[in-house]
Amino acid sequence: MTSRQGFRIELAPTLEQRTRLGRHAGLSRVVENFCLEKVKAAIEQREAEKTYGIPEKDLTPIPWSAPALERMWRLEHRDRYRWFTEEGLSSRVPKEACRVRAAGFKNFFDSRSGKRKGRKVGFPDWRKRKHGSRFRYDADRARPEAARLVRMPGVGKVRTLEDMSWLTDRIADGHARVIGSTVREQAGRWWVSFQIEIDRADINERRTVPGDAPACGIDVGVKTFATIVDDDGTVTELHAPKPLKAALRKLRRAGRSVSAKQRGSSNRAKAVKRLAKVHLEVANRRADFLHKTTTMLARSKRAIAVETLNVTGMVANRRLARAISDLGFGEFFRQLEYKAQWYGSSVWAADRWFPSSRLCGGCGTINRELTLADRVWTCGCGLVHDRDVNAARNLLEAMNLEQNAA
């Protein structure tokens, strides 16, 4: 059985290759804006035609789909964008840019109709340089050539800073194949992310969770990232590094440095790069902690009970927004879900309104007077509860009750 997975590797391009990568990123941006321009022009044309009394079936069609947008690009790029052909840029990049734009239109309509879960998605906007440099290749147009070499159309063979033997060996024996790739620049460094279809059976079997591993309940919070209570009574606390909080002074200093430089100057470009570097360090520290934590849990617990948090609503609280965003609760639950499937564990999520912190594990009374400031509380039955430990234990008990009833 195959599953889809990402594999991200940092590139070590030469100066000439960096220029080519930048040109492809610019090409992708141009094509995305070309697609948006055509859609908006068609919408305006339809509105004008309606005022003339033209029947609905005869109105100008709007090119919402990727094939329609591709056809328009092929018809016009030779006259409007001659540099595309003259510079020998890859024809696969415009194809994927059209797909990206078409997906944005689809997400907008699905979000508006309720088909798409999550927060509402707005109508696609113009893509600008400040939004970052990135572009895509379809299928295996860009693919690993060797353990430290990636072949990229229009760019050439680019060396990597890390070894890719894990991926190249599986591609060679038919256990994996590349189905797409995204190239992105951050803080002056380039990465390629391969989207792969892989048979993980042998990997998952070697790393599967032991049958006698404990089940646990996990309560997440701002002060203590995760309080873990195992079914044998063991309590473990995990503390997040809070990288954004640790880097705030450095970020403010770097931000002021950018503001003090003249727009368009080389000094401002250097200052922007330094600021981007700090942001990248923050993101990397957070990602490192989340990956290590979720992997440890998925490979050492046979069943995991978690709460269902309204992270969007929590971030709306301006007093908690920065701290919540710094912890990455949403990404934590997402990673835990798919890694549990890999390693034979299971994740059970309580109902959003389950009173894990307020419920007394002894008598079942719900303490409706409990506030966020109350870290320890005493029930009327005499039991003294640590808020986080009690919540994790209640989640574990709720999961066991539901599984036993089933």
pLDDT at residue 257, as a whole number:
96
235 in any annotated domain: yes
* Angle, helix 15-51 to helix 66-80, in steps of 10 degrees: 110
Query: Is the same domain home to 222 and 135?
Result: no
Query: Is the same domain home to 314 and 194?
Result: no
183 in any annotated domain: yes
Out of 149, 182, 201, a domain closes at 201
Query: Is the same domain home to 227 and 160?
Result: no
Query: Is the same domain home to 195 and 220?
Result: no
275 in any annotated domain: no
142 in any annotated domain: yes
Out of 141, 175, 201, a domain closes at 201
The DSSP code for 23 is H
| CA–CA separation, 169 and 192 (whole Å) | 18
List the one residue out of 310, 297, 309 whose CA is nearest residue 337.
297
Query: Is the same domain home to 13 and 88?
Result: yes
| CA–CA separation, 29 and 135 (whole Å) | 8
Out of 175, 201, 227, a domain closes at 201
254 in any annotated domain: no
Give the residue ranges of the chain where pLDDT is below 70: 406
Query: Is the same domain home to 197 and 223?
Result: no
Query: Is the same domain home to 103 and 231?
Result: no
Query: Is the same domain home to 169 and 30?
Result: yes
Strand partners, 185: 133, 190
Long-range contacts of 253-256 (CB under 8 A, 24+ apart): 254/278
Tens digits of residue pLDDT in 5-41? 999 999 999 999 999 999 999 999 999 999 999 999 9
Give the residue ranges of DSSP H helices in 81-221: 82-86, 92-113, 165-172, 201-206
> Known catalytic residues?
219, 307, 388
170 in any annotated domain: yes
123 in any annotated domain: yes
Residue 400 is part of which domain span? 211-240+297-405
Question: Exposed e or buried b for every residue in 319-341, given b needs 16+ CB within 10 A?
Answer: eeeebbebbbbeebbebbbebbe
| CA–CA separation, 122 and 110 (whole Å) | 11
255 in any annotated domain: no
Query: Is the same domain home to 217 and 148?
Result: no
Query: Is the same domain home to 191 and 218?
Result: no
For residue 77, the one-letter residue type is: H
Strands 133-138 and 189-199: unpaired
Query: Is the same domain home to 358 and 323?
Result: yes
How many domains in the chain?
A: 2
pLDDT at residue 406, as a whole number:
63
Tens digits of residue pLDDT in 125-140? 999 988 989 999 999 9
What's the number of CA atoms in the CB half-sphere (13 Å) around residue 127?
22
DSSP secondary structure, 94-133, as one string = HHHHHHHHHHHHHHHHHHHHT-S-SS--PPP----GGG-E
| CA–CA separation, 176 and 169 (whole Å) | 9
Contact partners, residue 189, CB within 8 Å, separation at least 6: 10, 280
Number of neighbouring beta carbons within 10 Å of residue 86: 8
Query: Is the same domain home to 63 and 195?
Result: yes
pLDDT at residue 118, as a whole number:
79
